[in-house]
Amino acid sequence: MIEMKVAGIALDAITRSPIVLLKDASDRRALPIYIGQEQARAIMGALENQKPPRPLTHDLIVSLLESCSMILEKVIIHSLQKDTFYAALIVQQGEIKKEIDARPSDAIAVALRTNAPIWVMEEVVADASIPVDRDADEAEQQAFREFISNLRPEDLIKRFGNGDS
């Protein structure tokens, strides 16, 4: 799994639909997830640390967790099926852990309110993320190509042995 942070909310240039952007720690990959207007407002409110006069849905969820002595340990965005992301809240109450199915947008909104980490399965990142820093990616690929082109069999033998046991 890869820990990701909310980079912000963007709008699709064509559809004007909101997108939450998650970025990895290296800021090299971004995971765009289309969300609804209300979820975008909830995420923006949490990012801006806004406190509404009355609790909104995600604030209510946090209050329920707290009143039941539960902690949101982490959010996991675990799969992508037919252009739909799936997520889970991992909550803990004492020694008991529970996994609660959630939409990624709701899970992110709750995670932001509780400072819980957001994790994304590697295969989801591989399938749906976009490169942010193409120059760094290209430089890394070029360095790897040079490494491979200069690699000699004896280097592998020195590193891993000759296979005799």
Q: Is residue 79 part of a domain?
A: yes
Q: Is residue 146 part of a domain?
A: no
Q: Is residue 151 part of a domain?
A: no
Please give the residue range of the domain that contains residue 103: 2-132
Q: Is residue 142 part of a domain?
A: no
Q: Is residue 145 part of a domain?
A: no
Q: Is residue 93 part of a domain?
A: yes
Better pLDDT: 132 or 53:
53
pLDDT digits (tens, 9 = 90+) for 71-123: 999 999 999 999 999 999 999 999 999 999 999 999 999 999 999 999 999 99
pTM above 0.85, yes or no: no
For residues 129 and 82, what is the distance between their CA atoms, to the nearest angstrom? 15
CB 137 within 8 A of CB 131: yes
The rounded mean pLDDT for the chain is 87
Has residue 156 got a pLDDT over 70? no
Number of domains composing the chain: 1
What CATH number should be reported for the domain holding residue 53?
3.10.690.10
